[in-house]
Amino acid sequence: MLTIRLARRGKRNDPSFRLVVTEKSNPVKGKFLEELGFYNPRQKAKSLKKERIQYWLGQGVECSATIHNMFVSEGILKESKIKAWRPKKREGAEGAESAAPAAQVKVEEKAEEKAEEKKEGAEAEKPAEERKE
């Protein structure tokens, strides 16, 4: 499946990107079929070949989320923007799936401890109330 996405170029700590049409399974710095423009986020400079972009979109090529949002802001696509980021994974966790149940168990244990403390506090107050009467 073909996709339009960013291919990173530039020096370390000075990124610049090419907009390319490539096979989705190709590596980011790998082969591509056609260059459709460039984007430099530091200088806010971008150049897009709108006719070629429209051609590839007409052929059924998909866009990455970032490129989709860029095309919406440039007026190439008449759709709404989509969420283009994912939350970062926690460090030290072996996997997101294994970390979530462990965190849930800890929350449940804390809730049980608080419930027990409330029961003990309520039992300690009852005899004092009975003495007053």
Q: Please tell me the pTM assigned to this model.
A: 0.61
Check residue 34 and give its pLDDT: 92
- Going by C-beta distance under 8 Å and a sequence separation of 6 or more, which residues neighbour residue 82? 65, 68, 69
- Rounded CA gap, 112 and 77, in Å? 52
> What's the burial of 7, exposed, middle or buried (CB within 10 Å: 0-12/13-18/19+)?
middle
Q: Note the pLDDT tens digit of each residue in 55-110.
A: 999 999 999 999 999 999 998 988 888 888 888 888 775 554 554 555 555 666 76
**What pLDDT sits at residue 52?**
93
CA–CA distance, 30 with 24 (Å, rounded to integer): 11
